[in-house]
């Protein structure tokens, strides 16, 4: 898998239509052949009676389509749906969502589209949105990269953070996912978080595009979009099924009425609808796709279609009863008091421990585990992807660890021991790290820094590797950038997962976290 080198990202907050940012957005959309889509909304803590209101729509634009062309910088637009009049951008977004010249990327974006459509409908933009095409889901791209083709997403789909780490080699923070996205102004951390969620979609696609072109997995087809097919007449179009999806609005706009009046078949009606879409998009003067990108769209392209059933809220009576029963067990104040640290920890010498702190971070604070490893603290994560509460508690007990969590539901279990679990109060990972260090009075020495593998919690080999040894050790496993070959760096390798680290990467990792 080729290494992804991120390009500089410029973030623009769009909060009104008469701003330079909005002008920049409309211009970028006409020059972008690939965009990444994501949305944010305020999480609903109780049983919802309506879909959440989307507060922010992120659009990451990639204006370059030729691989290796780094002349353009990546741009992420944060469209503030809480401030901008939705009616002023509804038509623009509808056109973008169905434009055949723009490939849309998303991560399980159907739910986002449902909430987005509901938000616009509530503001009088009925019927909202019902289609995104052409579309590629990042989970499907990930499956192809792992040689697991198939367009249906399995129930065991990995998180976006996991996919980013495996494909791009970057750590994507998810700590602000459940923050209040309806509150204004947005913090700088929220803006960066939202932008990275959309920007990383472009990075994953870039790796995928490079692999597809390298392996030659798409067959060569002659596609005359916006070129050769322009000279075809109406009769030739009606007799050439493959041309139906390649019409250009300028030449055939006047044929729409003829087609609708004379053709009764579903195929001819589809052509007429296609022409109307192209006519509308042609007014925005969108840039046609490069042939290499068209090949990928033809082979792997998909679409999102919303049915009437998708627009109706589904409620579960069983879940409602269970939630009510759980709330009745204990008040929030009791849970908070139980989450406070009582001590002593299981590694305490007075309890027969060895004095070495050990933690288990559940899925809600999984990012905290990497921060703890950076400062040399033994921090494990659950042995299974979706552990039951009892599994977490058993693992912490067997391995003499303190379970770190932000999940109040874990505190409700009667079989918990007070010195076995701690509820982390801070939201940001840096603050969580300081909170744990202060709460458990951990002593961090300089020789502990970067003494553990941030990927698996393993230890490093005692002797550093030379560049030649590192290149040999990384063969078929990890790619070392060629720019490091002549820098006389020392490399360290994890004894458990064989991940390689080097001085520059370590410094950057610590700096970014």
pLDDT of residue 176: 82
Q: Which residues pair with 11 in a beta bridge?
A: 76
pLDDT of residue 92: 96
Name the phi and psi angles at 423, rounded to 5. -90, 115
Is the bond leading into 127 cis (omega within 30 degrees of zero)? Answer: yes
Q: Are 257 and 266 in contact (CB under 8 A)?
A: no
DSSP 317: H
List % helix, strand, coil for the chain (3-state, nearest 5): 45, 15, 40
- Taking the C-alpha atoms of residue 82 and residue 124, their distance in angstroms, rounded to an integer, is 15
CB neighbourhood size of 337 (10 A): 11
Tokens encoding 493: 């390798």
What pLDDT does 4 receive?
54
- Tokens 């503030």 found at: 80
The answer, yes or no, to whether the previous bond of 347 is cis (omega within 30 of 0) is: no
**Lookup result for tokens 């590694």:** 347
Burial class (CB in 10 A: 0-12, 13-18, 19+), 252: buried
DSSP E strands in 389-508: the ranges are: 402-405, 421-423, 491-493, 500-502
- CB-CB neighbours of 454 under 10 Å: 22
Q: Which residues contact 287 (CB under 8 A, 6 or more apart)?
A: 30, 31, 32, 33, 101
State whether the Cα torsion 366-76-207-500 is positive or negative: negative
For the chain, what's the residue count? 513
pLDDT of residue 190: 93
Residue with tokens 């939201």: 427
Q: State residue 46's pLDDT score.
A: 58
Antiparallel, parallel or unpaired: β 74-80 and 9-14 = parallel
Distance CA 117, CA 128 (A): 4
CA–CA separation, 277 vs 95, rounded Å? 8
Residue reference for tokens 């994501």 = 38
- Report residues of the chain scoring pLDDT below 70: 1-7, 45-48, 63-73, 147-157, 217-285, 315-340, 414-418, 503-513
d(CA 208, CA 140): 10
């Amino acid at each position: 898998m080729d290494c992804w080198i991120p390009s500089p990202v410029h973030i623009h907050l769009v909060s009104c239509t008469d701003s330079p940012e909005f002008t920049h957005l409309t211009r970028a959309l006409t020059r972008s052949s690939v965009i990444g889509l994501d949305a944010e909304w305020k999480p609903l803590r109780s049983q919802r009676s309506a879909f959440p209101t989307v507060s922010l729509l992120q659009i990451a634009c990639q204006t370059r389509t030729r691989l290796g062309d780094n002349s353009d910088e990546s741009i992420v637009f944060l469209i503030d749906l809480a401030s901008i009049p939705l009616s002023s951008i509804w038509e623009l977004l509808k056109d973008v969502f169905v434009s055949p010249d723009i490939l849309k990327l998303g991560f399980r974006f159907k739910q986002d589209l449902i909430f987005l459509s509901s938000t616009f409908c509530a503001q009088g933009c009925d019927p909202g949105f019902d289609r995104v095409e052409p579309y590629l889901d990042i989970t499907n791209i990930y499956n192809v990269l792992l040689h697991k083709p198939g367009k249906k997403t399995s129930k065991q789909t990995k998180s976006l953070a996991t996919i980013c780490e495996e494909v791009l080699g970057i750590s994507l923070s998810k700590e602000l996912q459940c923050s209040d996205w309806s509150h204004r102004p947005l913090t700088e951390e929220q803006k960066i978080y939202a932008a990275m969620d959309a920007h990383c979609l472009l990075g994953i696609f870039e790796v995928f595009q490079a692999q597809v072109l390298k392996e030659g997995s798409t067959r060569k087809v002659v596609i005359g979009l916006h070129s050769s097919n322009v000279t075809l007449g109406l009769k030739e179009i009606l007799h050439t099924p493959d041309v139906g999806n390649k019409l250009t609005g300028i030449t055939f706009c006047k044929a729409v009425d003829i087609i609708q009046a004379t053709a009764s078949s579903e195929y001819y009606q589809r052509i007429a609808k296609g022409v109307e879409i192209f006519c509308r998009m042609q007014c925005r003067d969108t840039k046609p796709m490069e042939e290499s990108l068209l090949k990928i769209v033809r082979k792997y392209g998909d679409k999102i279609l919303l049915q009437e059933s998708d627009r109706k809220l589904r409620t579960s009576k069983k879940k409602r009863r269970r939630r009510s029963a759980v709330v009745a067990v204990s008040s929030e104040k009791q849970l908070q008091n139980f989450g406070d640290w009582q001590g002593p920890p299981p590694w305490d010498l007075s309890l027969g421990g060895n004095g070495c702190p050990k933690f288990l971070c559940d899925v809600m604070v999984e990012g905290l585990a990497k921060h703890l490893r950076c400062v040399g603290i033994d921090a494990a994560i659950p042995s299974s992807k979706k552990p039951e509460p009892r599994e977490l508690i058993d693992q912490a007990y067997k391995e003499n660890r303190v379970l770190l969590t932000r999940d109040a539901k874990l505190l409700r279990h009667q079989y918990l021991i007070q010195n076995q679990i701690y509820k982390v109060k801070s939201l940001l990972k840096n603050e969580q790290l300081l909170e744990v260090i202060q709460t458990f009075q951990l002593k961090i020495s300089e020789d502990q820094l970067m003494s553990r593998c941030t990927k698996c919690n393993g230890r490093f080999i005692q002797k550093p590797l030379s560049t030649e040894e590192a290149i040999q050790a990384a063969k078929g496993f990890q790619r070392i950038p060629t720019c490091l070959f002549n820098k006389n760096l020392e490399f360290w390798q994890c004894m458990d997962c064989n991940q390689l680290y080097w001085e520059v990467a370590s410094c950057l990792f610590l700096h970014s976290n």
